[in-house]
Amino acid sequence: MGEVDSAFIQAIEHRPKLAIVEAEGIPLIDLSALNSPESSNSSAISRLVAQIGEACKNWGFFQVINHGVPFERQQNMELASRKFFAQSTEEKRKVRRDEINPTGYYDTEHTKNVRDWKEVFDLTVENPTVMPASHEPDDKELTKWINRWPDYPPELREAFEEYTEELKKLSYKLVELISLSLGLPAKRLNDFFKDQTSFIRLNHYPPCPIPHLALGVGRHKDAGALTILGQDDVGGLEVKRKTDGEWIRVRLTPDAFIINVGDIIQVWSNEKYESVEHRVMVNSQRERFSIPFFLNPGHHVMVEPLEELTDEQNPAKYKAYNWGKFFATRKRSNFKKLGVENIQIHHFKIAE
């Protein structure tokens, strides 16, 4: 990462506290009912749906165990990620991303206009992924994002493709449970994810000499529908508790994935569920690796509150927006420090 420069230093009010408040309440949900002969057991599924609904409503975050993703697939993906990041910066930058194709390696990302203490490698779930060619509203041209594969490690592509298949399956299971928890048919949301623009990010957070001043990722909400996070044993994810605004550390649970609902589910649910701010602490002694899967709809999807969840008593709280243009605008901001706040869903909020 080179010398510590002022670009990494958070404003005083956003600097991390080194005293950890560990999360007692973030729900741990056992998905074994989905992966067993009991999966037709309606009472077991009903309990699961209720747990998911409570977690989405009260926390915006939960962890899942017995999720059906083989440990070997997770392990292969993490090992390939570690090998990639262990290379020289020069080697990694051979697959550096750019404004034309924002898949690949990057080491100067900003969140809230402060540089993150991390390096990343982004790969799209659908290869190629169809996206708008620009963020300009009137530009109808489409482009294809194509994954860049490094020469080393040679096993990265296979590990990624096998892992991705498992994560896609898990993401659909979770989306269907969330749909049921909103009182909708299980597959109500599935069509939004045809030609999905989902991606997986390999994160590497090197040891940081100023853990009291910098963050691995600054405070933010996820713009997509759902995030599934796999991580190593170092930890560092903090969630802003809805009840009091306190930053609390997500406790590590072996073999669990951490799930959070994103802004799109907040809009679809008309704020029954809320996307919650989170951030990543850095560690002065140990490097940390994590692999989030960001589930996103197709570029053509217009995101707006679902009609079944709105009526005269509960009118729509957001205007419709096009996901592809929204996502393209967000991606563009990763390449330059903007003088203004990046596009957010609150820009589409209907005044009450």
Residues 6+ apart with CB under 8 A from 241: 23, 25, 59, 247, 248
Question: Band of the pLDDT at 2, cuts 50, 70, 90?
Answer: very low
pLDDT in tens, 25-72: 689 999 999 877 655 678 889 999 999 999 999 999 999 999 999 999
The mean pLDDT of the chain is 91
Summarize pLDDT for 208-242 with one digit per residue, the tens: 999 989 999 999 999 999 999 999 999 899 999 98
Judge residue 202's burial from the number of C-beta atoms within 10 Å of its C-beta, 0-12 exposed, 13-18 middle, 19 or more buried. Answer: buried
Give percent above pLDDT 70 in the chain. Answer: 93
Is a pLDDT exceeding 90 seen at residue 110?
A: no
- What does the radius of gyration of the chain's CA atoms come to, in whole angstroms? 20
Q: How far apart are CA 305 and CA 321, in angstroms?
A: 11
Q: Give the model confidence (pLDDT) of 88-101 as tens digits.
A: 999 999 999 987 78
- Kindly report the CATH number that applies to the domain delimited by 19-348: 2.60.120.330
Percent of the chain with pLDDT over 90: 75
Q: Which residues contact 147 (CB under 8 A, 6 or more apart)?
A: 103, 123, 124, 127, 128
pLDDT tens per residue across span 155-195? 999 999 999 999 999 999 999 999 999 999 999 999 999 99
Q: pLDDT tens digit string along 268-295?
A: 999 999 999 999 999 999 999 999 999 9
Domain ranges of the chain: 19-348
Residue 50's pLDDT is what? Answer: 97
What is the per-residue burial (b if ≥16 Cβ within 10 Å, else e) of 5-20?
eeebbbeeeeebeeee
The 3-state DSSP class for residue 101 equals: coil
Q: What is the DSSP letter of 39?
A: G
Quote the pLDDT of residue 14. Answer: 82
pLDDT tens per residue, range 61-90: 999 999 999 999 999 999 999 999 999 999
pLDDT band at 334 (very low <50, low <70, confident <90, very high): low
